[in-house]
Chains A and B, each alone.
Chain A
Amino acid sequence: DSGVTQTPKHLITATGQRVTLRCSPRSGDLSVYWYQQSLDQGLQFLIQYYNGEERAKGNILERFSAQQFPDLHSELNLSSLELGDSALYFCASSGLGVTGNTIYFGEGSWLTVV
């Protein structure tokens, strides 16, 4: 158990809909990262938060947004969903500040858009 909790584990939704993925980092970790893993794109970095602030942005679509709350949990919002958004979405957290040398991943949220 990595200590990073992601919910839901699986969800199926229709095109055009909106979903929210939730992540609770390991106790004490201030950094949260979001990744998307699909068969054709591999693991793609989406966004990183540190103690509530956005710190780095990757290949995140405008239809996607994220935030980190004061209790350090994070949410990834995916809207106007398309078939191509079907993927495994990971949250990861790290300690030792921004440059944490232990980055642990949650079990992921499997999203299927039909």
Chain B
Amino acid sequence: AQKITQTQPGMFVQEKEAVTLDCTYDTSDPSYGLFWYKQPSSGEMIFLIYQGSYDQQNATEGRYSLNFQKARKSANLVISASQLGDSAMYFCAMRAAMNSGGSNYKLTFGKGTLLTVNP
């Protein structure tokens, strides 16, 4: 079974500081992908960053980086130089096979972390 765990229901950070949002996962599929999404109060789900299980380097996208520790099954999101507009719900998600044949996939989400950036 696939599982994503986000242990921080809420986080606070000061503007311009860096923040790390935690995510651990569990899957028996050797080929999987890890995603982070941002959901502001308006509701849309915004794709931030992707890390493949075979990628050797940690993914980076602008101020977002993914701290991928495969042995520990963790995929933490680091946001550098936080901005007020970063205040939102952040979801970690994993795409993995639903069956042993690996032909059917689904994206499993964690419960999310509500990030508040203080001025």
Q: Identify the closest chain B residue to A44 (Cβ).
A: B109
B108 contacts A55, CB within 8 Å?
no
Separation of A45 and B104 alpha carbons in the complex (Å): 13
Asked if residues A42 and B109 are in contact (CB atoms below 8 Å), the reply is yes
Say whether B107 contacts A92, CB under 8 Å.
yes
* Contact in complex: A88, B95 (CB < 8 Å): no
- Complex contacts, A90 vs chain B, CB 8 Å: 45
Partner of A108, one of B44, B104, B107: B44
Contact B103 A55 (CB under 8 A): yes
Given contacts A2-B47, A105-B37, A107-B43, contact A56 B105 (CB under 8 A): yes
Cβ of A17 within 8 Å of any chain B Cβ, yes or no, is no
Interface residues on A, range: 20 to 34
- B50 contacts partner chain A, Cβ-Cβ < 8 Å: yes
As a 0/1 sequence over residues 100 to 112 of chain B, the CB contacts with chain A under 8 angstroms (1 = contact) are 0001111111011
Q: Majority SS of interface residues in chain B?
A: strand
Contact of A43 among B33, B43, B103, B109 (CB under 8 A): B109
Cβ of B31 under 8 Å from chain A: yes
| B91 located at the interface, meaning its Cβ lies under 8 Å from any Cβ of chain A in the complex | yes
Query: When chains A and B are docked, how far (Å) is the Cα of A56 from the Cα of B33?
Result: 17
Which residues of the other chain, B, contact A35 by a CB distance below 8 angstroms?
107
Report the 5 A-B pairs with minimum CB-CB distance, sorted nearest first.
A105-B45, A43-B109, A56-B104, A107-B44, A45-B106
Which B residues lie at the A interface, using CB under 8 A?
A: 31, 33, 35, 37, 43-47, 50, 52, 91, 95, 98, 103-109, 111-112
Cross-chain pairs A/B with CB under 8 angstroms, 27 sampled: A2-B47, A33-B106, A35-B107, A42-B109, A43-B91, A43-B109, A45-B106, A48-B106, A55-B103, A55-B104, A55-B105, A92-B107, A98-B103, A101-B33, A101-B50, A102-B47, A102-B50, A103-B35, A103-B95, A103-B107, A104-B47, A105-B44, A105-B45, A105-B47, A107-B43, A107-B44, A110-B43
A interface list, Cβ under 8 A from B: 2, 33, 35, 42-43, 45, 48, 55-56, 58, 88, 90, 92, 98-99, 101-108, 110
A33-B106, A55-B103, A103-B95 are known contacts; what are 6 more A-B pairs with Cβ within 8 Å?
Answer: A2-B44, A2-B47, A48-B106, A58-B106, A92-B45, A98-B103
